[in-house]
C-alpha cells in the first residue's frame, strides 16, 4: 500500500461527494410536472436503439401512428425520429449519449426508446467499456421513477413496481475506483430527496387507484446506511397515507416470495432502490411470460421515457432473428406513453388488445424464431384487434 494510492482514491471520493451534494441541491429545486393538456403540440421522440431495437421500435411506431392518426394529421402530436442513439455513434464520441442526441432528446416532451447496448468488459465486438445510455438518460433527464406493471390474471397477479432510477448502486456504477491492482471499490448513494419522491409516487399511485398495499424492498438489515435511509423514509412517507397498509421485505426473501403461489398475489405496489428494483422487475417479467412481454416507464417531472424491460438481444441479431423479436414489450411501453401524455382511451384500448393478442386469443404467436410470426405481423394483428367494434366485450369475455 502506498499513501499515493490512498490519496488518489480519497480525492476521487471527495469529488463524487461534491457532485452528489450538488445533485441534492438540484433536487431541492426541481421543476413541476409537465402539464400535457396545456401544450400546443406534444413531441414524442422515437429512438430505435441497437440490436433488435429498430425492429421492435418500428412495430410500436406502426401502432402509435394508427392510434394517433388524427392527432398527427392535425399537428397536435409529432412523432420525431432521433437516429443517433446507436452503439456505433456512442463509441465514436466515447459518450453514453452524444451531445447532439441529448440536445434533440431535450426538445421532446416524452421519448419512446428501443433497447441500447451497454458494452461489457472483453465483449467480442471490441466495444470500449462506455457508460450505459440508459443510466445516463435517466440521470440527464432526471427520470427518477421506473414504473413497471406486471399482470398475470390467471394467477391473480397485479403488480406495479416503482423502482428508484437515479441513485442506489447504479448511479456511480462507472465511477468506482481501482485503488490498486488488488482492490476495487464501487459506491452506492441514497438521498432523502431521491427516496422520498419515489416512495411518495408509489403511495400516491396506490392511494389514487384504491390499492391498499405498498411493499418496500431493501436489505436494510445489512446495508445499513443507504438502505436504512430508504426504509426510514418509507416509514415517514407512509404516515401521510394511513389508508394504505405497507410492509417491508429484504431483497433475498422477496425474490423467493414473488414465485410463492401462497404469497405472490398479496403484493400490489412495490417500491425499491435501483439494483433491487432491477432484479425483481426482471423476475416479475419472467413470471408474466418472459422479458419480451414487459414494458417500462421512466418518469420524471419534466421528461419521461418509455422502453422495453429487456435489452438489445444481440444474440438474436447475430443469428439473423431480429425480425422475429417480440415487439409486445415496446408496444406495452407505447401504451404507457399514451396514458402518461393524456390519451387514456387510446392507451386502454391498446392494453385490451395486448391482453387479447398475447395472453388469451393468441391467433398469432411470436417465438423469437421463424416458428412464430414476425414483430411486424404481430403489430398488425394488434391493430386489427383494436379496430374490432366489440373490443371491450371480447376482453370482458376472457375475464
Ligand atoms: P437481453 O435482455 O438483451 O436478451 C436476453 C435474451 O432474452 C435474448 O438473447 C433473447 O433470447 C431474449 N429476449 C429479449 N428480448 C426479447 C424479445 N423482444 N423477443 C424475444 N426474445 C427476447 O439481455 P442481454 O443479451 O444480456 O443484453 C444485450 C444488451 O442489452 C447488453 O448490452 C445489455 O447491457 C443491454 N440492455 C439494455 C437494456 C435497455 O436498453 N433498457 C436493458 C437490459 C440490457
Q: Name the β-bridge partners of 110.
A: 44
Beta partners for residue 164, in sequence order? 145
Nearest CA owner, ligand 1 atom 30: 311
151 CA distance to ligand 1 centroid (A)? 21
The CA-atom distances, in angstroms, between 278 and each of 160, 284, 360 are 13, 10, 28
What secondary structure letter does DSSP report for 3?
H
Helix, strand, coil % over all residues of the chain, rounded to 5: 50, 15, 35
Angstrom distance (rounded) from CA 105 to CA 305: 10
- CA distances to 232, 235, 246, 297, 373 from 239, rounded to whole Å, are 11, 7, 10, 27, 50
- The full set of domains in the chain, from first to last, is 1-30+173-288 (3.40.718.10), 34-143+300-399 (3.40.718.10)
Side-chain-side CA neighbours of 343 within 13 Å: the count stands at 21
Q: Which of these, 282, 285, 273, lies nearest to 219 by C-alpha position?
A: 273
Cell of 27: 433536487
Compute CA distances 240 → 27, 213, 236, whole Å: 21, 14, 8
**What is the Å distance from ligand 1's center to 115 Cα?**
8
Q: How far is the CA of 359 from the centre of ligand 1 (A)?
A: 21
* The C-alpha cell that represents 291 in the structure block: 422479458
CB 119 within 8 A of CB 128: yes
Residue for cell digits 425480425?
Answer: 323
* 229 pocket-lining for ligand 1 (C-beta < 6 Å): no
Instruction: Look at the block and give the residue holding cell 386469443.
Output: 361
Mutate to test the pocket of ligand 1, among 56, 282, 291, 319 (most ligand atoms within 8 A of CB): 291
Is the distance from the beta carbon of residue 311 to the nearest atom of ligand 1 less than 6 Å?
yes
Looking only at the bridges linking them, the beta strands covering 177-178 and 184-185 are antiparallel
**Residue 348 Cβ contacting ligand 1 at under 6 Å:** no
d(CA 336, CA 138): 17
Spacing, Cα 342 to ligand 1 middle (Å) = 30
Burial class (CB in 10 A: 0-12, 13-18, 19+), 75: exposed
The radius of gyration of the chain's CA atoms, rounded to the nearest angstrom, is 21
Q: What residue's CA is closest to ligand 1, atom 34?
A: 118
Is the distance from the beta carbon of residue 96 to the nearest atom of ligand 1 less than 6 Å? no
| 114 CA closest ligand 1 atom index | 40
Report the candidate in 297, 303, 296 with the shortest Cα–Cα distance to residue 107.
303
Report which of 246, 281, 53 is spatially closest to residue 149, judged by C-alpha positions: 281
pLDDT of residue 173: 86
Residue nearest to atom 25 of ligand 1 (CA): 313
Instruction: Give distance in angstroms: CA of 76 to centre of ligand 1.
Output: 34
Ligand 1 nearest-atom number relative to CA 119: 32
Positive/negative CA dihedral, 13, 16, 21, 27: negative
**What is the Å distance from ligand 1's center to 139 Cα?**
21
Q: What is the pLDDT along the chain (399 residues), one digit of tens a residue?
A: 689 999 999 999 999 999 999 999 999 998 877 889 999 999 999 999 999 999 999 999 999 999 999 999 999 999 999 999 999 999 999 999 999 999 999 999 999 999 999 988 888 899 998 999 998 998 899 899 999 889 887 899 999 999 998 899 988 888 999 999 999 999 999 999 999 999 998 998 898 888 999 999 999 999 999 999 999 999 999 999 999 999 999 999 999 999 999 999 999 999 999 999 999 998 998 898 766 667 789 999 899 999 998 899 999 999 999 999 999 999 999 999 998 898 989 999 999 999 999 889 999 999 999 999 999 999 999 999 999 999 999 998 987
Give the single-character DSSP code of 33: P
Q: Mutate which of 312, 319, 374, 376 to test ligand 1's pocket (most atoms within 8 Å of Cβ)?
A: 312
Amino acid at each position: 500500500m502506498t499513501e499515493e494510492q490512498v490519496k488518489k482514491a480519497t480525492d476521487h471520493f471527495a469529488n463524487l461527494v461534491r457532485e452528489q451534494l450538488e445533485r441534492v441541491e438540484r433536487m431541492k429545486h426541481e421543476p413541476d410536472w409537465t402539464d400535457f393538456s396545456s401544450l400546443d403540440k406534444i413531441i414524442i421522440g422515437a429512438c430505435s436503439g441497437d440490436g433488435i431495437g429498430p425492429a421492435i421500435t418500428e412495430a410500436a411506431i406502426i401502432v402509435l401512428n394508427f392510434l394517433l392518426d388524427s392527432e398527427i394529421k392535425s399537428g397536435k402530436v409529432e412523432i420525431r425520429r432521433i437516429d443517433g442513439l446507436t452503439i456505433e455513434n456512442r463509441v465514436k464520441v466515447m459518450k453514453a449519449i452524444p451531445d447532439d442526441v441529448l440536445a434533440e432528446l431535450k426538445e421532446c416532451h416524452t421519448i419512446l426508446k428501443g433497447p441500447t447496448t451497454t458494452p461489457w468488459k472483453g465483449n467480442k465486438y471490441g466495444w470500449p467499456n462506455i457508460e450505459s445510455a440508459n443510466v445516463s438518460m435517466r440521470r440527464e433527464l432526471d427520470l427518477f421513477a421506473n414504473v413497471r406493471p406486471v399482470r398475470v390474471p390467471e394467477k391473480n397477479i397485479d403488480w406495479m413496481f416503482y423502482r428508484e432510477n437515479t441513485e442506489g448502486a447504479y448511479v456511480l456504477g462507472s465511477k468506482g475506483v481501482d485503488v490498486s491492482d488488488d482492490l476495487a471499490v464501487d459506491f452506492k448513494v441514497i438521498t432523502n430527496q431521491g427516496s422520498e419522491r419515489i416512495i411518495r409516487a408509489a403511495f400516491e399511485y396506490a392511494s389514487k387507484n384504491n390499492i391498499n398495499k405498498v411493499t418496500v424492498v431493501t436489505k436494510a438489515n445489512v446495508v445499513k446506511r443507504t438502505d436504512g435511509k430508504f426504509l426510514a423514509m418509507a416509514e415517514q412517507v407512509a404516515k401521510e397515507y394511513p389508508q394504505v397498509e405497507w410492509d417491508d421485505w429484504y431483497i433475498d426473501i422477496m425474490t423467493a416470495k414473488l414465485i410463492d403461489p401462497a404469497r405472490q398475489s398479496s403484493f400490489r405496489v412495490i417500491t425499491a432502490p435501483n439494483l433491487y428494483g432491477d432484479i425483481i422487475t426482471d423476475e416479475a417479467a419472467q413470471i408474466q411470460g418472459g422479458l419480451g412481454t414487459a414494458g417500462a416507464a421512466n418518469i420524471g417531472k419534466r421528461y419521461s421515457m418509455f422502453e422495453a424491460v429487456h435489452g438489445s438481444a444481440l444474440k438474436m441479431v447475430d443469428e439473423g432473428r431480429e425480425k422475429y423479436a417480440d415487439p409486445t414489450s415496446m408496444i406495452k411501453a407505447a401504451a404507457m406513453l399514451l396514458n402518461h401524455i393524456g390519451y387514456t382511451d387510446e392507451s386502454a384500448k391498446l392494453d385490451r388488445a395486448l391482453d387479447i393478442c398475447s395472453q388469451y386469443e393468441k391467433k398469432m404467436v411470436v417465438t423469437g424464431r421463424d416458428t412464430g410470426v414476425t414483430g411486424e405481423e404481430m403489430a398488425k394483428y394488434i391493430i386489427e384487434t383494436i379496430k374490432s367494434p366489440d373490443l371491450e366485450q371480447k376482453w370482458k369475455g376472457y375475464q
